[in-house]
């Protein structure tokens, strides 16, 4: 959902920490009791041997639970070449506040680590990312050494391993466009990181379900409880593809919303311009029909989803970008299975045959999803509750009247099965009906 929005940013090519699986060491001891026999006699049978006595095996002892990581950020000295009055905002625990460089010139953000504290992890949550940046490290008075480099297309939430012996870190950028802005930065020891440090999965490999949305927020407004149900509750691998690349602020809202509803796969931000148009023809003029088709075929081949969910063919309230997304997605499904079509992406990813596609509000083989079932992973809140919570992160859109509703003309629970290679739904209410269980991607 969007009104007229234009971005000058480059295209892109949730807070939960994961506890490592514990291994158990089995310690078993077996002591054999001695066996005594009577001395041999001329005629009688030997006396029976006393019963063996074996020492019971001890119960397995679990390995110690990993200790929580220590947050060293309060003991880390932060300095910057500009914006010194805003430094506290970079570690106040609030993503809605941020430090930013106050001059459009080469800038540095330095961290002097507490001596001997064992710093191991740097957590960096950008508000907006400079076009190019470098992370450097050093020991004592030594020269700076490059730890990592990045661009404006990088993940907004990132983690870096701090080299042993490191005493200082530096983030530097030639910030000529005002995008050197840090929402939260953290330094931690080894151990279980807090839930505020997000561990995104990269958008690589197979997906169970692909959600294709024209803009950030559409995946919640119109696909409703899809992501909370299938990613959050059921643990399926869900990839969200946004057609528009959007401003970096919209990207931050998008990933915060996705993380809150249980999706831990970083989304794809497409290359298309964010502009309000109210017809299919106008959208084709702005985006380019062949370019849209090629992009959608590539995403289907890249992620190989069993199920795809997307917009209303009529664009919900008529939005041309919504219409084009749904229309060309249907066209892309058979093309993705044909190696002669868009051969570059076929050579890169292979071909793929999607099993099912549902479109919002479609009247073909209609189903109504129940987004009001309590979900245990969200402490009994429903998928609809969670979709509303996720949409709350899209602050820039709250000036409009959009709402996540399972009633009314844009009911986010109504879909139609517009394509299926596995037959019609019989029971209904489950996008994965008729999908073999073995087709699902194992949870990480």
pLDDT along the chain (444 residues), means of 10: 39 34 32 34 47 58 82 97 95 92 89 97 94 96 96 91 97 87 96 91 95 98 98 98 88 95 97 94 95 98 98 97 98 98 98 98 98 98 98 94 96 98 97 86 55
Owner of token pair 């840090």:
182
Q: What is the pLDDT of residue 105?
A: 82
H/E element holding 137?
A: strand 132-138
Dmax over CA atoms of the chain, in Å, equals 112
Give the pLDDT confidence score for residue 55 in this predicted structure. Answer: 58
Q: Running DSSP on this structure, what letter comes out for residue 49?
A: P
pLDDT of residue 247: 79
Structure tokens at 141: 């008075």
What tokens appear for 443 in the block? 């949870």
Q: So what's the pLDDT on residue 56? A: 59
Structure tokens of 331? 């066209």
Q: Where are the alpha helices (DSSP H) in 231-287?
A: 248-260, 280-287
Would you say 130 and 103 are in contact if contact means Cβ atoms under 8 Å apart?
no
Whether pTM > 0.85 for this model: the answer is no
Q: Side-chain half-sphere of 435: how many Cα atoms within 13 Å? A: 20
Residues comprising the chain, all counted: 444
Q: Pick from 442, 391, 132: which is nearest to 258 by CA?
A: 391
Q: How far is CA 159 from CA 9, 17, 26, 188, 392, in A?
A: 23, 12, 35, 11, 26
Say how far apart CA 254 and CA 241 lie, in whole Å.
Answer: 11
- Rounded distance, CA 390 to CA 369, Å? 18
Q: Which residues sit opposite 126 in a β-bridge?
A: 182
Q: Please tell me what DSSP assigns to residue 333.
A: H
pLDDT for residue 69: 97
Q: Which of 88, 245, 91, 83 is nearest to 173 (CA)?
A: 83
């Amino acid at each position: 959902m969007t009104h007229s929005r234009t971005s000058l940013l480059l295209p892109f090519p949730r807070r939960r920490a994961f506890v490592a699986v514990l291994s158990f060491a089995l310690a078993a001891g077996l002591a054999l009791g001695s066996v005594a026999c009577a001395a041999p006699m001329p005629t009688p049978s030997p006396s029976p041997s006393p019963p063996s006595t074996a020492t019971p095996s001890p119960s397995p002892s679990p390995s110690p639970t990993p200790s929580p990581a220590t947050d060293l950020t309060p003991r880390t000295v932060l300095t910057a070449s500009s914006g010194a009055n805003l430094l506290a905002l970079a570690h106040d625990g609030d993503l809605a506040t941020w430090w930013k460089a106050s001059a459009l010139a080469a800038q540095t953000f330095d961290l002097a680590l507490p001596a001997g504290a064992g710093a191991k992890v740097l957590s960096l949550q950008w508000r907006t990312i400079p076009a190019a940046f470098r992370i450097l490290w050093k020991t004592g008075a030594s020269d700076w050494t490059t730890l990592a480099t990045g661009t404006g297309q990088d993940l907004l939430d990132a983690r870096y391993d701090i080299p042993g012996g490191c005493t200082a870190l530096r983030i530097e950028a030639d910030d000529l466009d005002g995008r050197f802005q840090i929402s939260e930065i953290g330094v931690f020891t080894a151990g279980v990181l807090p839930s505020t440090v997000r561990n995104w999965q990269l958008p690589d490999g197979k997906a169970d379900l692909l959600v294709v949305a024209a803009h950030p927020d559409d995946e919640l407004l119109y696909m409703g409880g899809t992501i909370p149900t299938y990613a959050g509750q059921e643990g399926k691998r869900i990839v969200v593809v946004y057609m528009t690349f959007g401003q970096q602020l919209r990207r931050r809202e998008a990933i915060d919303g996705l993380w809150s509803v249980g999706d831990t796969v970083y989304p794809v931000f497409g290359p298309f311009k964010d502009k309000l148009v109210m017809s299919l023809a106008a959208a084709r003029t702005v985006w380019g029909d062949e370019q849209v088709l090629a992009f959608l075929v590539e995403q289907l081949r890249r992620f190989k989803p069993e199920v795809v969910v997307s917009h209303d063919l009529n664009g919900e309230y008529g939005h041309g970008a919504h219409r084009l997304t749904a229309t060309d997605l249907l066209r892309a499904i058979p093309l993705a299975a044909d190696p002669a079509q868009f051969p570059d992406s076929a050579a890169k990813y292979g071909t793929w045959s999607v099993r099912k596609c549902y479109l919002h509000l479609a009247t073909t083989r209609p189903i109504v999803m129940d987004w009001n079932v309590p979900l245990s992973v969200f402490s009994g809140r429903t998928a609809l509750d969670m979709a509303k919570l996720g949409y709350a992160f899209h602050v820039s859109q709250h000036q409009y009247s959009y709402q996540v509703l399972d009633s009314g003309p844009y009911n986010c629970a109504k879909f139609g099965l517009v394509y299926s290679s596995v037959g019609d739904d019989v029971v209904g209410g489950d996008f994965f009906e008729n999908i073999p269980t073995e087709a699902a991607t194992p949870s990480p």
